[in-house]
Amino acid sequence: MSIDFNNQKTIEAVKWLVGRAVAFDLVREARFLANFLEKNLSAGAVERPDDQLIYQELLAKVKFMALPTLGVEETAGLLQENFTLIFEISDYDLWGKIKEKLIATAKFDDRDFFKKRIGAAILANDQSLTRDGIILGGVEARGSVKNWLADARQTLGSEKVEIVQLSQYLINSANTKKLSEEERRKVDYLLKFFEKTKISSMELGGMEEITIFEVDGELDAYEEGITERIGKEIKDKVAELFSAQTTSEIQDEIQSKYRGNEAEEKKIAAEIKKIQKVAGGDFNKMADLLFRAIPGPGRAADKIYFAAILKILAEEGKIEKLLEEERFSGMVISYLKTKDRPSELAGFKANPRAAQYVSALLQYLLKDAAGMDEDESGRIGMKIFNILAKKGAGNKYQGLVYFDLEKKEFRWS
Amino acid sequence: MDIDNIKNLEEKIKSLPEGKERALWQKVLEEAKRFETMPQKEVEAELKKSDEEVALAEEQLKILAMSKEEREKELTGVKAEAARKTKEAEKEWEEAMAAITPVLVEEDVKRREDEARMEKTITADKTGELLENLKLFLEKKDLAGVGAILKILAVQGEMRMVLNLYGYPSNVLGMQKFFNEILIGDRPVQGEKAYENLLFQQKVYSLEQDISSLAANQNSWTLAFSVGRKGRIWHELEEKDHLAAVLWAVEKIKPETAARQFGPAAYGYFTPREKGNLAAGADFELSMEGKLILALYGNFFEQQLTKNYFNPAAAEVLSKFEKELGNIGLPESFSEALKKYLDEIKNKPEMTDVVWEELTK
Residue B181 pLDDT level (bands cut at 50, 70, 90):
very high
Length of chain B: 361
- Rounded Cα gap, residues B322 and B335, in angstroms: 6
- Which of B218, B248, B292 lies closest to A221 in CB terms? B248
Residue B145 sits at φ, ψ, to 5 deg, of -65, -45
B308 touches chain A (CB under 8 A): no
- Residues B310, B341: contact at Cβ < 8 Å? yes
pLDDT at res. A298: 72
Whether the pLDDT of residue B141 is over 50: the answer is yes
> Could you give the angle at the alpha carbon of B199 between the alpha carbons of B195 and B202, nearest 5°?
135
Residue A90 sits at φ, ψ, to 5 deg, of -60, 130
- Residues B111, B234: contact at Cβ < 8 Å? no
- Rounded Cα gap, residues A311 and A315, in angstroms: 6
User: B290: Cβ–Cβ under 8 A, 6 or more apart, which residues?
Assistant: B221, B222, B266, B267, B268
The per-residue pLDDT string of chain A (413 residues; one tens digit each, 9 = 90 and over) reads 578 999 999 999 999 999 999 999 999 899 999 999 999 999 999 999 999 999 999 999 999 999 999 999 999 999 999 999 999 998 899 999 999 999 999 999 999 999 999 999 999 999 999 999 999 989 999 999 999 999 999 999 989 988 889 999 999 999 999 899 999 999 999 999 999 999 998 888 888 899 999 988 899 999 888 899 999 999 998 888 877 776 666 777 777 788 887 888 889 999 999 998 888 888 888 888 888 888 877 778 888 999 999 999 999 888 889 888 888 888 888 888 887 777 777 788 878 888 888 999 999 999 988 889 999 999 999 999 988 888 887 788 888 888 887 777 888 88
Nearest-Cα distance to chain B for A167, in Å, is 23
Chain A residues closer than 8 Å to B232 by CB: none
- Which of A16, A68, A208 lies closest to B155 in CB terms? A68
Q: Higher pLDDT residue, B289 or A399?
A: B289
Are B119 and A106 a contacting pair at CB < 8 A?
yes
Q: Where are the beta strands (DSSP E) in A73-203?
A: 134-136, 139-141
Helices (H) and strands (E) in chain A, counts: 17, 7
Residue B60 sits at φ, ψ, to 5 deg, of -60, -45
B122 touches chain A (CB under 8 A): no
Whether the pLDDT of residue B338 is over 80: the answer is yes
Q: Higher pLDDT residue, B50 or B360?
A: B360
Nearest-Cα distance to chain A for B1, in Å, is 31
Chain A residues closer than 8 Å to B209 by CB: 209, 211
Residue B3 pLDDT level (bands cut at 50, 70, 90):
very low
Are A244 and B327 a contacting pair at CB < 8 A?
yes
How many CA atoms, within 13 angstroms, populate the side-chain half-sphere of residue B172? 28
User: A308: Cβ–Cβ under 8 A, 6 or more apart, which residues?
Assistant: A268, A271, A272, A275
Length of chain A: 413
- Rounded Cα gap, residues B104 and B233, in angstroms: 9
Chain B residues closer than 8 Å to A237 by CB: 247, 292, 295-296
- Residues B175, B208: contact at Cβ < 8 Å? yes
pLDDT at res. A221: 94
User: B315: Cβ–Cβ under 8 A, 6 or more apart, which residues?
Assistant: B305, B338, B341, B342, B345
Are B216 and A210 a contacting pair at CB < 8 A?
yes
Are B251 and A234 a contacting pair at CB < 8 A?
yes
pLDDT at res. B51: 64
Q: Which one, of B173, B234, B158, B159, lies nearest residue B201 by Cα? A: B234
What tens digit of pLDDT does each residue of B151-180 get?
999 999 999 999 999 999 999 999 999 999
- Which of B115, B243, B245 lies closest to A106 in CB terms? B115
User: Most confidently modeled of B12-26, B59-73, B308-322?
Assistant: B308-322
B258 touches chain A (CB under 8 A): no
Which residues make beta-bridge pairs with A412? Answer: A401
Residue range B93-105: mean pLDDT, rounded: 75
H or E element at residue B268:
strand B268-272
Are B156 and A28 a contacting pair at CB < 8 A?
yes
Chain B residues closer than 8 Å to A212 by CB: 225, 227-229, 237, 241, 245
Are A213 and B263 a contacting pair at CB < 8 A?
no
pLDDT at res. B211: 97
Residue from B107, B248, B288, B328 whose CB has the most chain A CBs within 10 Å, to mutate: B248
pLDDT at res. A392: 82
Nearest-Cα distance to chain B for A213, in Å, is 5
What tens digit of pLDDT does each residue of A188-203 get?
999 999 999 999 988 8
Residue range B121-136: mean pLDDT, rounded: 94
Q: Which one, of B136, B208, B206, lies nearest residue B173 by Cα? A: B208
Residue range B245-272: mean pLDDT, rounded: 95
What type of residue is B8? N
What tens digit of pLDDT does each residue of A6-49 get?
999 999 999 999 999 999 999 989 999 999 999 999 999 999 99
- Rounded Cα gap, residues B337 and B315, in angstroms: 10
- Which of B213, B241, B249 lies closest to A209 in CB terms? B213
Nearest-Cα distance to chain A for B309, in Å, is 8
Percent of chain A with pLDDT over 90: 56
